[in-house]
Amino acid sequence: MAIRIALAGNPNCGKTTLFNLLTGTHQYVGNWPGVTVEKKEGKLKKHTDVKVTDLPGIYSLSPYTPEEVVARNYLTEEKPEVILNIVDGSHIERNLYLTTQLLELGIPVVVAVNMMDIVRKSGDKIKTAELSKLLGCPVVEISALKNQGTDKAIEECMKAAEGAKPVPQHTFSGPVEHAIAHIEEAVLHDRPEQQQRWYAIKLFERDEKIIEKLGISEETLKHIEEDIKKAETEMDDDAESIITNARYEYIGTLMKKCYHKKNSKALTVSDKIDKVVTNRILALPIFVIVMFLVYSLVMMPVPMPWGDSLGTIMTDWANDGVFGDEGWYLFGIGQGDYDTAMDEYAEKNIWTNEFKADIDKAVKADALGAEDISGAIEDGSFSDFDEAYGTYSSSLEEYFTENNIEYTFTDIYDEATGEDAQELPEKASYGVFVKSIPALLEPAFENAPSWLHGLVFDGIIGGVGAVLGFVPQMLLLFLFLAFLEGCGYMARIAFVLDRVFRRFGLSGKSFIPMLVGSGCGVPGIMASRTIESQRDRRMTIMTTTFIPCGAKMPIIALLTAALFGGAWWVAPSAYFLGVAAIIISGIMLKKTKMFAGDPAPFVMELPAYHLPTVGSILRSMWERGWSFIKKAGTIILISSVLIWLGNTLGWNDGVFGYYEEFGDDGLSILNAIGNAICWIFAPLGFGEATATVATIMGLVAKEEVVGVFGVLDFKGLAPLAGYSFLAFNLLCAPCFAAIGAIKREMNSAKWTLFAVGYQCIFAYATALMIYQFGLLFTGSVNIIGLIAAILVLGIICFMVFRPTPKSHKLKASTA
Amino acid sequence: MKTLRQAQVGQTVRVVKLHGEGALRRRMMDMGITKGTEIYIRKIAPLGDPVEVNIRGYELTLRKEDAGIVEIETEEN
């Protein structure tokens, strides 16, 4: 018989560990429909006809959180054959509270008391046989971590699935039972008998969701209300309290009979750790150190005195090695020798006196980028030189042609690095040189038509590769996140930072996504999964990408160099802009209808510290990484190909077709679109086709903005328009990869659209204000534009400073 | 009326009644803050809010503002 087992239990009770143990690799991870609650299903390792569903970790079956609603809907509608309720033996009192509710559902329940090893070690005693008798359901002792007793638990589940439906052993006081009986009789007689008690209790609690679901008429409701009122008067309390109190009182009697606590006042190890970690004085410094460690290892986009961060090294390897033009040295062996050889070669063959003379001329004339190139030559580093040369050589050429000065440096470079160059060091002779994916594929496409070559290399590998290149770094980050979460520190971060973040409608845990977002928005958005409250999570997802990520750095760097003469304040102002955008958005959004009606109580358990297992950390890391890779394979693939098509299809001399390059009169589809819609950006100061195309290309990857726009095009912009362009591109819709991540985490097309739409509108408003108010100082005021900017400022001020709309009674979650 | 908000760090207090309504109140009850429960105030976060309490053998954190709906009595009175 096909049996479905539902795993239910409190958060941190070891449910996920047990689930992984039972199902091994036969897992499916997804989302419950319409909510951002993770759904996990799997098949038993030993009985593949038994399906296990891992319900979200919950404390109760109330109608107020999406997790709880998802769980109770599954249990009442899908009616699994048996519930395996995992109970944390070290916090048994609170854990049994859920058990009392599960027992009322009319589904066989098996209670597995987990962490029995810890309980025994602390000297406490739980009499499980007695507990089983009192609860009226099987109770087994297990330790998921040490894989003890799990076979027995499954065995009991199989038995229970075929056995009789359970009858809850706990009863409420006389008046309540009286009311419940009345409710059953009045409205529930056509419901399955074993579910009647559950629904009756929920109706007694005035559970709005259940009332709605059962479609109870006003009249009957009034009738029931009389019964409830009567019980309430008699008990001198409200219905919800009566039920909750009764449950905990019942658990109290169970505890007396089955639980013996070794009375020790000694602090546990966890208590001792916590005394230090969330200490009033030490908490913040410790937090800063932990964050700095993680950040400098994983994300740091600029090299520290002791070298690049591990994450940067991994991304460089993936981007320049695996997806690069040539390949990489196995374990980096040979790279050093090759670099030295190249430095020597460059010294002799590239940086000749003529070459240096040209560069010196450019430096004296202050040509863009000349300083960078000459600096690299002085340092004698070919790799630095090559990077600078790649970026700025066209700018230098332009300078020489414009001023009618003869130059030879490009010829020298081309000759020395071309295919016919003698003595040019061969990469393969310095170590085990592994070819990159493009280099490996190249021979296969040698005779392919050029469009196919372009599609594969520029479209697919270029687009998807740019995104997959981040995977190693992301896995590293997820590893750290999984550890912080698993050991219990993540909850403390929320505890320490809650006060700061809640003012902006965010959670203390929003800090991590934003910090990570300064490296890459995609893992930043995915890190938001550690935030329990759906409202805070959505808000965090929407605002995380406002922080300039690593790919936006080149845009900032180039604009700073090209338009602001390398002014020191440009880069910090970009970060300031990002933070301000988050704060303003947070305050505005939390007052909107979409967020205001959905308050999230911050009443949170601080789990005991413990060392997570290596397996659980690796699994968590892989789950997140994999869900991202899947995205890259679908959404990102399609979008990259579309953008590639837009770039290569078009008109040359009036003939439509595929072209590798467009002449002066030619026009690609993307450029045509740019021409058609560039008027939109006119009020922001950059209403021209190139800037528009660059912005569109930014959707593939933000650094593409620089690629399309090029150093020289920036020169055409006035500094003010340039800054407006920068602001817009920093704040508007992120790249496809990040949009994919938003879609994945929001689990709703509507919310994804709202998030991206909001970002674009906010970016537009910001850039509009920057440009129009900026014009005031340059003296060329545009009256209509100025009025528009003042209007926008007024609207934002109103939305920030208006009082929070009275939220109509705290409503049940809409999930 | 004395509430959990006014309780001092290191004190053990007893819950008299939960005021307020809706999600917050229910959540507190679900987490075990019910009539007669003993609560030990463990500490206050470095920035002055929220507070950490020990209840029913585990650690719980809640904001001071929310703690205002929990009416308590101290051992002395």
pLDDT of res. A513: 87
Give the residue from B12, B17, B26 with the most A CB atoms within 10 Å of its CB, the best one to mutate.
Answer: B26
Same domain for A9 and A149: yes
For residues A151 and A219, membership in a common domain is answered with no
Q: Cα(B5)–Cα(B7) distance, rounded to whole angstroms?
A: 6
Contact A104, A168 (CB under 8 A): yes
B65 touches chain A (CB under 8 A): no
Is A208 in the B-facing interface, judged by CB distances under 8 Å? no
Q: Cα separation of B5 and B49, whole Å?
A: 11
| A211 falls within a domain | yes
Tell me, yes or no, whether A215 and A108 share the same domain.
no
**Are residues A156 and A231 located together in one domain of the fold?**
no
What Rg do the C-alpha atoms of chain A give, in angstroms? 32
- Structural domain total, chain A: 4
Q: Are A460 and A490 within one domain?
A: no
Residue A497 tokens read as 């930072």
Alpha helices in A380-458 (DSSP H): 382-402, 409-417, 437-441, 450-454
B29 at A interface, C-beta within 8 A: yes
Residues of chain A with C-beta less than 8 angstroms from the C-beta of B22: 64, 809-811
For residues A314 and A342, state if they share a domain.
yes
A80 plus A222 within the same structural domain: no
Q: Supply the DSSP symbol for A268.
A: P
* Interface check A286 vs B, CB under 8 A: no
Q: Which residues of A618-634 are buried (b: 16+ CB within 10 A; e: fewer)?
A: ebbbebbbebbbebbee
In a domain, A303, yes or no: no
Q: CB–CB of B26 and A605 under 8 A?
A: no
Residue of chain B whose alpha carbon sits nearest to that of A491: B61
State which H helix or E strand residue A699 sits in. Answer: none
Rounded Cα distance, A514 and A521, in Å: 8
Q: Is A60 on the interface with B (CB under 8 A)?
A: yes
> DSSP class of residue A607?
P
* CA A495, A500, A505, A509 torsion-angle sign: negative
- Out of A59, A245, A495, the one facing B31 most closely (by C-beta) is A59
Last residue of a domain, one of A398, A433, A468: A468
- Neighboring chain A residues of B57 at a CB cutoff of 8 Å: 90-94
What tens digit of pLDDT does each residue of A702-714 get?
Answer: 877 876 666 556 6
For residue A815, the model assigns a pLDDT of 39
**What ipTM is given for this predicted complex?**
0.95
Which candidate, A765, A738, A769, places its Cα nearest to that of A752?
A738
Residues in chain B with CB shorter than 8 Å from the CB of A240 are 25-26, 29
> Is any Cβ of chain A less than 8 angstroms from the Cβ of B35?
yes
What per-residue confidence (pLDDT) applies to A671?
85
- Render A714-736 in DSSP notation, one character per residue: HHTS-HHHHHHHHHHHHHS---H
Task: State the nearest Cα–Cα gap between B11 and chain A, in angstroms.
Answer: 15
Is A499's CB within 8 Å of B50's CB? Answer: yes
Q: Burial of A787 by CB count in 10 Å (0-12 exposed, 13-18 middle, 19+ buried)? A: exposed
For the domain that residue A238 is a member of, what is the CATH number?
A: 1.10.287.1770
Q: Which of A421, A443, A468 is the last residue of a domain?
A: A468
Do A82 and A102 have their domain in common? yes
The H or E element containing residue A551 is none
Low-confidence residues in chain A, pLDDT < 70: 1, 31, 33-36, 263-266, 299-306, 596-600, 631-632, 707-716, 805-815
The model's pLDDT over A162-193, given as tens digits with 9 standing for 90+, comes to 887 777 778 888 889 999 998 988 888 788 88
Claim to verify: residue A218 and residue A314 sit in the same structural domain: no
CA–CA distance, A643 with A655 (Å, rounded to integer) = 20
Residue A430 has a pLDDT of 79
Residue A616 located in a structural domain: yes
Query: A791 lies in a domain?
Result: no
Is residue A815 in some structural domain?
Answer: no
Q: Which of A418, A438, A468 lies at the terminal end of a domain, its last residue? A: A468
Of A62, A93, A496, which has the smallest distance from its Cβ to B30's Cβ? A62
CA-CA-CA-CA torsion sign (A381, A384, A387, A393): negative
- Shortest alpha-carbon distance between residue B77 and chain A (Å): 23
Residue-number span of the structural domain to which A392 is assigned: 310-468
Residue A703 in domain: no
Query: Closest Cα of chain A to B41: distance in Å?
Result: 13
Look at residue A396 and tell me if it is in a domain: yes
pTM of the full predicted structure?
Answer: 0.81
Which structure tokens are listed for A506? 């965010």
* Cβ pair B57:A93 closer than 8 A: yes
Residues A158 and A180 in one domain: no
Residues of A in contact with B9 (CB under 8 A): none
Superfamily of domain B4-74: Ferrous iron transport protein A (FeoA) (2.30.30.90)
Closest chain A residue to the Cα of B51, Cα to Cα: A495
Residue A419 shares a structural domain with residue A489: no
- Tell me whether residue A408 is in a domain: yes
Do A100 and A117 fall within a single domain? yes
